[in-house]
Amino acid sequence: DAGVIQSPRHEVTEMGQEVTLRCKPISGHDYLFWYRQTMMRGLELLIYFNNNVPIDDSGMPEDRFSAKMPNASFSTLKIQPSEPRDSAVYFCASSLMGDYSSPLHFGNGTRLTVT
């Protein structure tokens, strides 16, 4: 299996622009998570899905952030409009519940820089 695939690896954009981050989870996994990592706040859970349905989006910082999972093999995280404080590494992770020992499998992350 190729693992969790995120694109792009790096994104540099100007303040006010729309940014879309993409994620392909591991095939067969039924949970998908979006995390954000910054020096100040560490790893924060933004939103997660179960069987393509958003379960908890309480970590989404503002209405500028939105996430979708149109099918089991694809999810997007969109920031519109972007701001410099959104600069961070955004991770997508997937897991298969039913086995409590099953860890979250992370993608390589998207490093977002908003200037």
Partner 1 sequence: AQKITQTQPGMFVQEKEAVTLDCTYDTSDPSYGLFWYKQPSSGEMIFLIYQGSYDQQNATEGRYSLNFQKARKSANLVISASQLGDSAMYFCAMRDDSSNTGKLIFGQGTTLQVKP
Q: Which residues bind partner 1 (CB under 8 A)?
A: 31, 33, 42-43, 45, 48, 50, 55-56, 89, 91, 93, 95, 97, 100-101, 103-106, 108-109, 111
Minimum distance from CB of 16 to partner 1 (Å)? 27
Determine if the peptide bond prior to 8 is cis (ω within 30°).
Answer: yes
Nearer to partner 1, 48 or 65 (CB): 48
Minimum distance from CB of 56 to partner 1 (Å)? 7
Widest pairwise Cα distance in the chain = 43
Identity of the residue numbered 4: V
Minimum distance from CB of 81 to partner 1 (Å)? 26
CA neighbor of 28 nearest in space, from 75, 104, 94 = 94
In this structure, the strands spanning 10-13 and 65-71 are unpaired
Nearer to partner 1, 31 or 81 (CB): 31
Residue 26 gets which letter from DSSP? Answer: P
Nearer to partner 1, 81 or 104 (CB): 104
Minimum distance from CB of 95 to partner 1 (Å)? 6
Q: Which two tokens stand for residue 38?
A: 């910054």
Identity of the residue numbered 91: F
Nearer to partner 1, 27 or 51 (CB): 51
